[in-house]
Structure formats: structure tokens, C-alpha cells
Amino acid sequence: MGSGYLTSPLMLIINTLFDLYILLVLLRFLLQMLRADFYNPVSQFIVRLTTPPLKILRRFIPSVGGQDTSSIVLCLALIFTKFLLLRALSIKAVHIGGVMAPLGVSYGGLLIFCIADLIALVLTVFLVAVIIKVILSWVNPGHYNPVIGLVDKLAEPALKPIRKFVPPIGGLDLSPLFAILLILVVKMLLVPPIIYLGNF
């Protein structure tokens, strides 16, 4: 067994643990920004898990425009730490929004990659929310549970603007299809130039 025997399991553990927690912090920020139900059990679960580090950061990082800036700073710090750990394992590159980003760049380049990764994650959250909303509307229409309430909140920013231009046709709401397409296009147009910038 070579020196890389433990690299793949360690990479899996690092990616899984960091990505899950980054997702929770980002969801907290998005749900707060979208005025989701704070007393929703899922919201409470997210709040409990993410409060300890945010409590410390809020002493030094003020909110901007009524938004919890410390959540974004924590997300970027976690992504940056994840990249550093992967680089320490001699991982050459990572996938960010479907684009390969080399980890051997400067710290400034890594920070730019962090921004690209966070933007890609935000777009992915909206994409998945729209897809889940569509599936639930087919499988169990009219039924409500705490998860559905939060999915609706997350999907609405992607669907609302499109519904102004794409009304239902024959009772069929095509806005999710256009929302999914638009999110994918934005991701393809936005993430690669940021990663390219980080290579310098």
C-alpha cells in the first residue's frame, strides 16, 4: 500500500464534514434573509448547530443591511480551511461548480476560489429547492410539513421573477423548468471567470 492509501478516506471525511456544516451555515443565512419561520423545527435544528461559532464571530463582525454577515464570513473561513487541509494532503485540485480549481495557488487565489465555491453552493441550494418543490407537488400536493415550508421559502426567489414573464399554460406551471435552466446557465457563466481570476 502506497503513501496515498489513507488520502482518499481522509479527503472523503474532510469534504463530507466541512460541506455539511458549510451547508447548514449557508441555509441559516438564506432562511434568515428570506424571513423563513424561525420556530420551524428544521430551522431550530440549524440554529442550534450553527450558533456556537457565530456567537463568537458576531462580537467582531457587525451585520450589514440587516443581514447576518458573520454567517457568510464563517462559510468562507470553513471553505478556506477545507482547501488548506486538502492541499496539506497533496490534493492538486478540487471541483468548484463543475470546474477544476488548482489548490497550489496563492492564499489570495484560494480566497477567490472560496468565493466561487460559495456562489456555486448558493445556486445549487436554489436549484435543489426548485427540484424538490416540483417533485413534492407531484407526489404529495397540498400536504404540509416543516421541510416543505422551508423548501417553498428557498425556491420562491428563483420562481417568483420568472412567474412574472411565464404564466401558467393550460394550468401547467412551467416556471420551475425555466428557473432550473436559468440557475444552471448563471452557474456556468459566473463560476468559471471567478476561478480563472483566482489562478493569477
Does 74 reside within a domain?
Answer: yes
Comparing 3-7, 39-43, 169-173, 195-199, the range with the smallest average pLDDT is: 3-7
The total of structural domains in the chain comes to 1
Q: What is the average pLDDT across 45-49?
A: 95
Is 195 exposed, middle or buried (CB count within 10 Å of its CB: 0-12, 13-18, 19+)?
A: buried
For 95, list phi and psi in degrees, rounded to 5: -85, 125
Give the C-alpha distances (Å, rounded to integers) separating 129 from 9, 37, 171.
Answer: 30, 16, 22
Does 1 reside within a domain?
Answer: no
**Whole-angstrom distance, CA of residue 9 vs CA of residue 6:** 6
Is 95 within 8 Å of 137 (Cβ atoms)? no
Model pLDDT for residues 48-97, shown as the tens digit of each residue? 999 999 999 999 998 888 889 999 999 999 999 999 999 999 899 999 99
- Domain span including residue 53: 7-198
Does 2 reside within a domain?
Answer: no
Q: 169 forms bridges with which residues in the sheet?
A: 172
Does 105 reside within a domain?
Answer: yes
Q: What is the pLDDT of residue 2?
A: 47
**Whole-angstrom distance, CA of residue 114 vs CA of residue 2:** 31
Q: What is the average pLDDT across 156-160?
A: 91
Q: What is the average pLDDT across 163-171?
A: 79
Confidence (pTM): 0.91
**Whole-angstrom distance, CA of residue 200 vs CA of residue 92:** 16
Four-CA torsion 49, 23, 19, 60, nearest 10 degrees: -70
Model pLDDT for residues 125-157, shown as the tens digit of each residue? 999 999 998 888 787 666 667 788 889 899 999
**Whole-angstrom distance, CA of residue 78 vs CA of residue 25:** 10
Confidence of residue 4 (pLDDT cuts 50, 70, 90): low
**Whole-angstrom distance, CA of residue 31 vs CA of residue 40:** 11
Burial call 142-164: b when 16+ CB within 10 Å, e when fewer: eeeeeeeebbbbbbbebbeebbe
